[in-house]
């Protein structure tokens, strides 16, 4: 039996998990992400935490196959991180740096891609060889698995599906600087933005008007409770989401589309709504695709990170 680590590096916490080579998560814990001094303490802190864990369990270095890590920014296949603004990081090779600090081989990927790999391996996409994972959270991220392999892309920007342009008439800018991105309509913030615009444009009575601040969950809850305006807002969201997923499926023709992130907590109404518009916009050859909810929650990144290491360094 060999072991390894899966690490999900976020802007405020680092989630670490220890696995055996059968893919069982044995332990998980968190340490704070210290972003002071250009993020220079982050990797030494991770290495120290790994070392302390092995010492505690009495596991020898020879029993460790490697370390996988998801980072919040673009990473290429050689491990070159190309600026993680949240962490204060510039350009450097994380395989080499974290490898030196831990003494173990390291494989890194972009955090959204790595979470997709986790869902593919142990979550909503289990059993698929081709899968699209879309995280509908504060923003929209994603990851794409083709023939069992994650698409990293040449610049490590593969799977940045949140920045496909859905609306060329949009005048408000997305966080990326463009206008009309998926993220502006299908993220939690995008849904609230659309709700506020919709409410301002109509005099129709709505229970949403009494809520400050309005949240994405409110829109789903009030639609479920029968508020017609909330339901109209969600129809717009579903139309954008269905069109977006139909376009992706025309390119990739996957077995499953897996939806994760905070918005996916809306559950079946979200899947059903997206499906209705998907069926309207999809190319006929892709209509058999399954829609699934992500099932690993916050652990998807750690599972995917370990899977990266297991695929690269496992027996």
Using CB under 5 A, list all residues that contact Zn ion: 163, 174, 176, 178, 181
Which residue is listed with tokens 């070159």?
80
User: Which of 49, 189 has the CB closer to Zn ion?
Assistant: 189
- Kindly write down the DSSP assignment for every residue of 171-238, as one continuous string: -SBPTTS-BSBTHHHHSHHHHHHHHHHHHHH-----GGGG-SS--HHHHHHHHHTT-HHHHHHHHHHH
User: Closest distance between Zn ion and the C-beta of residue 181, in Å?
Assistant: 3
User: Which of 54, 174 has the CB closer to Zn ion?
Assistant: 174
Please, which residues bridge with residue 168 across strands?
none
User: Which of 163, 307 has the CB closer to Zn ion?
Assistant: 163
User: Which of 95, 163 has the CB closer to Zn ion?
Assistant: 163
User: Closest distance between Zn ion and the C-beta of residue 180, in Å?
Assistant: 8
User: Closest distance between Zn ion and the C-beta of residue 144, in Å?
Assistant: 17
The total of other beta-carbon atoms located within 10 Å of residue 37's CB is: 9
User: Which of 35, 189 has the CB closer to Zn ion?
Assistant: 189
User: Which of 122, 163 has the CB closer to Zn ion?
Assistant: 163
- The helix/strand/coil state of 13 is strand
User: Closest distance between Zn ion and the C-beta of residue 175, in Å?
Assistant: 6
User: Which of 113, 286 has the CB closer to Zn ion?
Assistant: 113
Strand 290-293 relative to strand 256-260, pairing: parallel
Handedness of CA 258, 291, 22, 77 (dihedral sign): negative
The total of other beta-carbon atoms located within 10 Å of residue 207's CB is: 14
User: Which of 176, 250 has the CB closer to Zn ion?
Assistant: 176
- The helix/strand/coil state of 44 is helix
Q: Answer yes or no: are the C-beta atoms of 105 and 299 closer than 8 Å.
A: no
User: Closest distance between Zn ion and the C-beta of residue 178, in Å?
Assistant: 5
**Cα(116)–Cα(69) distance, rounded to whole angstroms?**
13
User: Closest distance between Zn ion and the C-beta of residue 185, in Å?
Assistant: 11
- What's the token pair of residue 141? 């991220």
Q: Answer yes or no: are the C-beta atoms of 194 and 183 closer than 8 Å.
A: no
**Cα(66)–Cα(99) distance, rounded to whole angstroms?**
9
User: Closest distance between Zn ion and the C-beta of residue 190, in Å?
Assistant: 10
The total of other beta-carbon atoms located within 10 Å of residue 269's CB is: 14
**Cα(304)–Cα(98) distance, rounded to whole angstroms?**
18
How does DSSP classify residue 62?
Answer: G
- What's the token pair of residue 66? 């490697």
User: Closest distance between Zn ion and the C-beta of residue 253, in Å?
Assistant: 25
């Amino acid at each position: 039996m060999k072991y390894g680590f899966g690490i999900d590096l976020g802007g405020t916490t680092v989630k670490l998990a220890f696995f055996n080579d059968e893919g069982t998560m044995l332990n998980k814990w968190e340490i704070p992400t210290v972003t002071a001094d250009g993020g220079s303490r982050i990797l030494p802190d991770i290495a120290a935490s790994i070392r302390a864990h092995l010492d505690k369990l009495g596991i020898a270095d020879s029993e460790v196959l490697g370390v996988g890590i998801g980072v919040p920014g673009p990473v290429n296949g050689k491990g070159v991180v190309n600026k993680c603004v949240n962490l204060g990081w510039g350009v450097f090779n994380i395989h080499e740096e974290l490898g030196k600090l831990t003494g173990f081989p390291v494989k890194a990927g972009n955090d959204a891609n790595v979470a997709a790999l986790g869902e593919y391996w142990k979550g909503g996409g289990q059993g698929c060889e081709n899968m699209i994972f879309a995280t509908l959270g504060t923003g929209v991220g994603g990851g794409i698995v083709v023939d069992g392999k994650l698409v990293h892309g040449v610049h490590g920007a593969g799977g940045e599906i949140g920045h496909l342009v859905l609306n060329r008439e949009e005048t408000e800018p997305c966080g990326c600087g463009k206008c009309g991105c998926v993220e502006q309509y299908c993220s939690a913030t995008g849904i609230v933005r659309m709700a506020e615009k919709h409410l301002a444009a109509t005099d129709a009575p709505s229970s949403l008007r009494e809520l400050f601040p309005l949240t994405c969950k409110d829109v789903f809850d009030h639609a479920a409770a029968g508020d017609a305006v909330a339901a109209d807002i969600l129809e717009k969201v579903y139309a954008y989401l269905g069109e977006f997923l139909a376009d992706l499926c025309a390119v990739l023709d996957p077995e499953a589309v897996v939806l994760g992130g905070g918005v996916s907590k809306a559950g079946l109404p979200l899947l059903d709504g997206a499906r209705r518009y998907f069926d309207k916009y999809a190319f006929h050859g892709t209509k058999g695709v399954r829609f699934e909810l992500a099932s690993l929650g916050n652990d998807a990144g750690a599972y995917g990170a370990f899977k990266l290491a297991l695929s690269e360094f496992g027996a």
